[in-house]
Amino acid sequence: MTIKLLGKKIGMTQIFNTKGDAFAVTILEIGPCFVTQVNTKHKNGYQSIQIGYESINAKKLTKAQIGHLKKANLPPLKYLHEYKYNKQDIDKYQIGNQIELNEFKVGNLINISGKNIGKGFSGYQKRHHFSRGPMSHGSKNHRQPGSIGAGTTPGRVFPGKKMAGRMGNKKITIKNLQIIDINQEDNIIVVKGAVPGKAGNIVYIQQK
C-alpha cells in the first residue's frame, strides 16, 4: 500500500556500518499527520486524501482554513497537502484519522520531494556549467555567454535558452532513498543520502 506523509528535514550527519565505512544520512521528522478531507470519485470526480501537518496558532490562518479544519474536529494545522489514492487505499482512511510511522520499516525505499536551496541570481558557469573563455590578456570573453542566436532569422531568442537567472528554489524529488533507522516515539526516520532543501524545510514523503 502507498503511504504518503509530510515532515521536516532536521539535518544531515554520517553513520558507520559494521565494516567501519562512513556514509551520509539525512534525519527527518515525519508527522504525525491528520486526514483533513477525503475526496471520492462519486462526490468529487476523483479520489484523493488531504492531510494536514504541524499545529499552528489559529490567528495565522484564514477563517476559511479554520472552518475547513473545524469540520474535521482538528486543531489549526499549518500545512495541507493532497495525495491521490486508489480505491483500496482510500477506504482505510476517515476524516480525523491520525497517520504515523507505523507502516514504515527499516530497509524500505521511499521517495522524498522538497524545495532545494535557492542560490539567487546566478551566472552561466554556475547555473548551467558553461565553460569559460580564454583568460589571456587580449581576450574580452572571460565569463560571457557568447552568441545567443542568429540576428536576421529568426530575429529573436527562443524560449528556454540557457542564460543567467534565478537558480534553485525548485521542487526536486529524490527517489529510492533507503530507510536506515526509525524512532517511533519521536517520529524520526533516518534515510541514506541527501534530501532537497535546508534544515527546517517541509518535505513530502511517499513509500510504495
Q: Where are the domains of the chain?
A: 3-118+171-207, 119-167
pLDDT of res. 162: 94
- Is residue 92's pLDDT more than 80? no
Grid cell at residue 182: 526509525
The domain defined by 3-118+171-207 folds into Elongation Factor Tu (Ef-tu); domain 3 (2.40.30)
Q: How far apart are CA 84 and CA 96, in angstroms?
A: 18
pLDDT digits (tens, 9 = 90+) for 142-197: 988 888 888 888 899 999 999 999 999 999 999 999 999 999 889 999 999 999 99
| pLDDT interval class at 72 (50, 70, 90) | confident
Secondary structure (DSSP) of 21-81:
-EEEEEEEEE--EEEEEEE-HHHHSS-EEEEEEEE--GGGS-HHHHHHHHHTT---EEEEE
Give me the residue label for grid cell 528535514.
9
Q: Which of the four pLDDT bands, split at 50, 70 and 90, describes residue 41? A: confident
Instruction: Give me the phi and psi of 70, to 5 degrees please.
Output: -65, -30
